[in-house]
Amino acid sequence: MADINSKVTRRKSISRIKVACAIIEIENKTLVVQRSEKMSLPLKWEFPGGKVESNETDEECIKREIKEELNIHILVEKSLRPSNFDYPNISIKLIPFIAKNIDGEIRLKEHQQYVFLAKEELSKLDWAEVDIPILKEYLNQ
C-alpha cells in the first residue's frame, strides 16, 4: 500500500529572469509603453526596459535597453524597490529606476505605442502584472 505522504508534487520548472525598467519623467509626465500584439502579454502597458545580461549591472542594463528600444539616452536618478511576479512559464524580478531623458528622439523598436501621462492618469491603463507594485510605489512617492 502506498504511503500518501511519500507522494511528491513536482512543479514544472520555470525560468527566472532579472529585468530592469525605467520610469522616465519628462516635463512632469511619465513615459509608458504598450506591448505589441506579437509580444507576450500583448497590449499590456509597462515601464520600458529589458533583461539584465550576466556581464552588466542593473543600471548599465537599463541604459542599454532604453537606447535599444526607444533610441534615447537616460540619466538614472534613483532606484525603487524591486517587484517579483510569477507568470505561468516565467518568474520575473523587475528592478525599477527613475530616470530623465537627456538625449535623443523616441523611436519605438518593439512596442506598439508610447504615451506621456500625468501621474494621476497612469492607473487607468491595463498594466502588465509585474509592473503594478512598482506603479503603486511610484504613485505613492
- What average pLDDT values come out for the chain (141 residues) when binned by 10 residues? 45 84 96 95 97 97 98 98 94 98 95 97 97 97 89
Q: Is residue 75 part of a domain?
A: yes
Indicate the number of domains in the chain.
Answer: 1
Instruction: Name every residue whose Cβ is closer than 8 Å to that of residue 3 and which is 6 or more positions away in sequence.
Output: none
Q: Is residue 63 part of a domain?
A: yes
CATH value at residue 51: 3.90.79.10
Q: What is the pLDDT of residue 12?
A: 59
Q: What is the pLDDT of residue 4?
A: 45
Q: Is residue 85 part of a domain?
A: yes
Q: What is the pLDDT of residue 66?
A: 98
Q: Is residue 6 part of a domain?
A: no
Q: Is residue 9 part of a domain?
A: no
Q: What is the pLDDT of residue 13?
A: 74
Q: Is residue 1 part of a domain?
A: no
Tell me the whole-structure pTM to 2 decimals. 0.88
Q: What is the pLDDT of residue 139?
A: 97
pLDDT tens column, 52-69: 999 999 999 999 999 999
Q: Give the largest Cα separation in the chain, rounded.
A: 71
Q: What is the pLDDT of residue 7?
A: 44
Instruction: In whole angstroms, give the CA distance from residue 34 to residue 47.
Output: 9
CB atoms within 10 A of CB 134: 21
- Provide the residue range defining the domain that includes 49: 14-139
Q: Is residue 55 part of a domain?
A: yes
Instruction: In whole angstroms, give the CA distance from residue 141 to residue 136.
Output: 9
Q: Is residue 4 part of a domain?
A: no
Q: What is the pLDDT of residue 17?
A: 96
Q: What is the pLDDT of residue 9?
A: 44
